[in-house]
Amino acid sequence: MRKLSWALLLAGTMGGAAPAAWAQETIKIGVIQPLTGSVAYNGLTYVNGAKLAVERRNAAGGVLGKKVELVIEDGQCRPANSVNAAEKLIVRDKVVALTGAFCSSATAAVMPVAEKYKLPMLTGVSSKADLTEKGLQYFFRSAETDRLMSRTFSKILAQKLQLKTVAYIGVNDDWGRGGVEDFSKDLSALGVKTVMKEYFDHGATDFYTLLTKLRAAKPDGVFVAAETQDGSILVKQFKEFGIQTKIFGVGSWATSDFIGLTGDASEGIYAAVPYASSMPGERNQSFVQYYSAAYKEKPGKYGAAGYNALNIVMEAIARAGNTQADAIRDALRKTDYAAPNGHFKFTEKGEGYGFDVVLVQIQNREPKVVAQSPTERP
């Protein structure tokens, strides 16, 4: 009996010590992104940027003397899948912070989970404006909002493209509808008439019915809120239809993936984005250089978003001096991060500001900066 008791005691001690020992080996940060589905191009690019940030930080000594480990889950941009991913990362993998979950609807579903477990969460992508209006204490956003992009660039677009009438097309989710509503509201206030609003589902491949309506509406310009895969198909069919209307929009339009998939049909498109590889400045030039060396293509919006989000979280952990959730949260509130695209800070609500946003036009398959503006404190 005594041997058995000592054996049980030893097993219990080792069982309790093993997780703690493992926790001391690395600092785990959870990443929820769409790795499959119609926005997988963008989710995988975000992960590439996140991995690059961690690799560079680990090569420089890590955080608090430890290596940082990314634990990545596929949320598929679906609320239920993303919630399941968050539960796994928090309960099973014991991550100290979360980043994700790309689509605003998926992020909105994960936010209460992070709040329940009192775990810091940062989205580098989700742009629905009201996400930071929910009064949550552990949520932060380093992404632009639809409202911010519209306020910054609607007047420039209206004047530059000489818009009198505009048609609006968006993916049928929180982000697509939010972008359409914000831009249509601000452009209408400038005297630009709305002649059409249409939405399509993720993964759509046939836009001909929608484009028939668009051609009949005869707008001066068409605003599109779409990501890489959906957007490239839409734009190619738009050009096949022979429609000459000027195109502008939001999403992944300035990325290498989008331009590569869309080909010559991307020529002349305008896009309002928080990042483009052609942005001036030494920090961005350096980022483009080492991102291109790692992935054999220039970074775009989502590569930069993943890179920035992980750097912001890692810097916060370093400032906190430990991996306690409240300490990391408080350190995130004191963020002053020098990024390839400006300086990131957070409001008391967790809303990011200070970074630059740009209006670009695709010329010879390169995003050329037309206008650039720092984001003001909301």
Residue 342 vs residue 20, higher pLDDT: 342
Would residue 145 be called left, alpha or beta, if left means φ above 0 and alpha means ψ between -120 and 50 degrees? beta
Q: In the structure encoding, which two tokens stand for residue 139, read together?
A: 């949520």
Q: pLDDT of 166-176, one tens digit each? A: 999 999 998 99
Q: pLDDT of 326-366, one tens digit each? A: 999 999 999 999 999 999 999 999 999 999 999 999 999 99
Q: What are the residue ranges of helices labelled H in 268-363? A: 282-295, 301-320, 325-332
Does 12 score more than 90 pLDDT? no
User: What is the gyration radius of the CA atoms in the chain, in angstroms?
Assistant: 22
Q: Give the pTM.
A: 0.89
Residue 111 · residue 89 · CB < 8 Å: no
Query: What local confidence, expressed as pLDDT, does residue 24 receive?
Result: 56
Antiparallel, parallel or unpaired: β 270-273 and 352-363: antiparallel
The pLDDT-based confidence of 275 (bands split at 50, 70, 90) is very high
Low-confidence winner among 87-91, 352-356, 364-368, 373-377 (lowest mean pLDDT): 373-377
- Give the span between the Cα atoms of 342 and 337, in whole angstroms: 8
- State the average pLDDT over residues 250-255: 88
* CA atoms within 13 A of residue 174's CA, in its CB half-sphere: 19
Query: What local confidence, expressed as pLDDT, does residue 11 receive?
Result: 37
Q: In the structure encoding, which two tokens stand for residue 130, read together?
A: 């009201």
Contacts of range 313-318, beta carbons closer than 8 Å, 24 or more positions apart = 313/29, 313/97, 313/99, 313/120, 313/122, 314/29, 314/53, 314/54, 314/57, 314/63, 314/68, 316/97, 316/120, 317/27, 317/63, 317/64, 317/96, 317/97, 318/63, 318/64
The length of the chain is: 378
Antiparallel, parallel or unpaired: β 246-251 and 193-200: unpaired
Instruction: Give the dihedral sign, CA 175/229/278/31.
Output: positive
Query: What local confidence, expressed as pLDDT, does residue 166 receive?
Result: 98
CA angle 163, 164, 168 (to 5 degrees): 75
- Give the span between the Cα atoms of 35 and 70, in whole angstroms: 15
Q: pLDDT of 196-225, one tens digit each? A: 999 999 999 999 999 999 999 999 999 999
- State the average pLDDT over residues 84-94: 98
Q: What is the DSSP letter of 145?
A: P
Q: pLDDT of 57-78, one tens digit each? A: 999 999 999 999 999 999 999 9
* CA atoms within 13 A of residue 199's CA, in its CB half-sphere: 13
Query: What local confidence, expressed as pLDDT, does residue 204 receive?
Result: 94
Q: What are the residue ranges of helices labelled H in the chain? A: 2-25, 40-59, 79-87, 104-116, 146-160, 174-189, 208-217, 228-240, 256-262, 282-295, 301-320, 325-332
* CA atoms within 13 A of residue 137's CA, in its CB half-sphere: 10
Q: In the structure encoding, which two tokens stand for residue 319, read together?
A: 């400032």
